A and B are shown apart, each in its own frame.
Chain A
Amino acid sequence: MKKTIITVVGKDTVGIIARVCTYLADNGINILDISQTIVQDYFNMMMIVDTNRTSKDFKDMVRELDELGESIGVIIKCQKEEIFDQMHRI
C-alpha cells in the first residue's frame, strides 16, 4: 500500500482537522493514523493516509492541500512516506 504523510503546522484555530478531513473524504482518501501535538502554541498534526483509491493526481493533491492550508492560515504539506522511512529507518 502506498502511504502518504500529510503534515499541518500553524497557529491553532477551530476546525483545522475538520477541513482537512473533509477534503480527504471528498477525494476518497482513507486516513490510517492521526497524531497531533502543540509545540510552543503551534499546532502540529501528522496524518498517515492511503492514497490508493483516489483518482487524484499526486501533484494536484499537493497543490490543493497547499491552497487549503493557505485559506486556513496553516502550512499543509503532503509527501510520500518513503522520504521519512528512508531517513529514519535502516
Chain B
Amino acid sequence: MINIFEVAETNEMIEKENLDVRTITLGISLLDCIDADLKLLNEKIYQKIYGAAKDLVATGEYISAEYGIPVVNKRISVTPIALVGGAACKSPEDFVSVARTLDKVAHEVGVNFIGGYSALVSKGMTAADEMLIRSIPKALSVTERVCSSVNVGSTKTGINMDAVKLMGEVILQTARATADRDSLGCAKLVVFCNAPDDNPFMAGAFHGVTEADKIINVGVSGPGVVKTALEKVRGENFEVLCETIKKTAFKVTRVGQLVAKEASKIMGVPFGIVDLSLAPTPAVGDSVAEILCEIGLEHAGAPGTTAALALLNDQVKKGGVMASSYVGGLSGAFIPVSEDQGMIDAVTAGALTLEKLEAMTCVCSVGLDMIAIPGDTKESTVSGIIADEMAIGMVNQKTTAVRLIPVIGKGVGETVEFGGLLGYAPIMPVNGFSCDAFIARGGRIPAPIHSFKN
C-alpha cells in the first residue's frame, strides 16, 4: 500500500516543484467538413469542433480536482486547414474567414489555443497551401487563439526552399501586422521540419491526416521536479546523474498517462499519446536552463551545454517510454528562450547566442523557439535561419522548428514582454552577413542519402 512518504513526495512535486499536466489537447479531424461552399464549410467546422470539445475544459477541471494536480491548458488541434479549406477557399481572405471561425469556437468552448491553421508543404505547395501561407499574417492579427504552423521539410522529402523563402517573408509580415502587440503574432507561428502528427503542444499542434477522427493527447511537464531531484546528487558521476533523471521522468510521465487515460474515458475519445516533454514556463523553478546549471554549468550556453542537453533529452525519453503505453509528439526537453527564466538570464549575461542555441537544437526535442530578434532583420536572413534549422532536422531525422519573433521597432539590448506563459525576452543579435543569393535560388534541397531505406 502507498505510504506517507510517497504521498508526501508526490504532493511536494506538485506544490513546490511545479509538476503539472501542461496540456490536454483534443485532436479533431475536419476532413469530413470539406465543402466547396465557404459558408457551409465554416458552419460545419464550427459545429464539429463545438460538438466534440464542449466538455473539454470541464473534463480537465474535473480531473484536476480528482487528483489534486493542475491541468494548466486545455487545447484543440485540427486537421491542417490548407487541406480542409482547399475546395472552398479561392483567396487568402477566404482562409482568414476559417481562422475567424476557429477563433470563435475556441472562445466558446473555453480553450486557450487552437492549432492547425497549417500547411504541409515539405515537397511542394498546392495553390491552397500557398494561399493559406499568404493569409497567415492577417489570420494571426485578427484572431487571438489561433496557432499556425507550416511544415517545409522532412528527412524523406528534403527541404522545400520556395516555402522557406516564403516563410521568411510571412514571419516578417506577421510581425508587422501585430506590431502594436510587440509582434505577438509570430509567437503563434512555427516552421517545422519532420512535424509530428500527434503533437499536443502549441503553437505547432495540428491533427495529422494519419490520426483517427478524434484523439486525446497529453503533454506533461516538470523541469522543476528534475532540477530538485538533481540537487540531491550534486558531485556524483554521470551514471548516477542519468539514473536520477530517468527515474524522475518516469514518475512525471506516469501522471500524464493517468490523466490521458482518465480524460479519454470521460470524453469517450481514444487516448493517443503522452508527450513526455520538459516544458518550461517563466515561473522561477520551472526552467530547463536551471537543470543544465544543476548538471554543472554556470549558465546555459557555456561550453558543455550541448552535451548536458543531449544527455538530459535522452534520459527523459528513456525514463518516460516505459511509463506510458504510447509516447509521441515532440517528447524531450524544450529550450524556448522567452518561456524559461534560466534561458533569459543566460542571454542577458551574454552566455547564450543564437548560434549556440542552433547547436543545442541538434540534441533538444524541437528547435529555435521563442527567440526575439531585431525588427529590422531582413526577410532572407530569417529564411536563412529557417533553412539551417530545417537542414539539422532533415539530416538528423528529428523534428526541428523555428519560432522567431522579429520585434518591429525594437533592437538588440531591448526587451519584449509577451505576458503569461509566453514570457518575456531580451532581443538577440543576428548574424548580419547576407544569404540573399542562396535564398533567391528557389526550388528544393533533395532528401539526404540516408532517407532511402527501402
Interface residues of A (CB under 8 A from B): 5, 7, 9, 33, 35-37, 44-46, 48, 58-59, 62, 77-89
For chain B, the count of residues having a C-beta within 8 Å of the partner chain is 21
Q: Which of chain A's residues have a CB closer than 8 A to the CB of B62?
A: 59
Cα A71 to Cα B90 with chains together (Å): 63
Q: Closest B residue to A79 by CB, please name it.
A: B68
Cα A29 to Cα B44 with chains together (Å): 48
The 8 A CB mask of B232-275 against A (1 = contact, 0 = none) is 00000000000000000001001101100000000000000000
**Are A86 and B255 neighbours in the complex by a CB distance under 8 Å?**
yes
- Give the shortest distance, in Å, between B252 (CB) and chain A (any CB): 8
**Are B1 and A62 neighbours in the complex by a CB distance under 8 Å?**
no
**Most A CB atoms within 10 A — which of B2, B8, B10, B254?**
B2
Contact of A78 among B3, B9, B68, B254 (CB under 8 A): B68
Q: Which of chain A's residues have a CB closer than 8 A to the CB of B6?
A: 84, 87-88
Contact of B257 among A62, A84, A86 (CB under 8 A): A86
Cα A73 to Cα B69 with chains together (Å): 22
- Give the shortest distance, in Å, between A74 (CB) and chain B (any CB): 13
Q: Give 9 new A-B contacts, CB below 8 A, not counting A79-B67, A82-B67.
A: A7-B7, A35-B3, A77-B68, A79-B66, A80-B67, A83-B258, A84-B2, A86-B254, A86-B258
Cα A13 to Cα B62 with chains together (Å): 32
Interface residues of B (CB under 8 A from A): 1-4, 6-11, 62, 65-69, 251, 254-255, 257-258
Q: Which of chain B's residues have a CB closer than 8 A to the CB of A79?
A: 66-69
Cα A59 to Cα B63 with chains together (Å): 10
Q: Which of chain A's residues have a CB closer than 8 A to the CB of B11?
A: 7, 9, 77
- Give the shortest distance, in Å, between B131 (CB) and chain A (any CB): 46
- Give the shortest distance, in Å, between A4 (CB) and chain B (any CB): 9
Q: Which of chain A's residues have a CB closer than 8 A to the CB of B66?
A: 58, 79-80
- Give the shortest distance, in Å, between A17 (CB) and chain B (any CB): 14
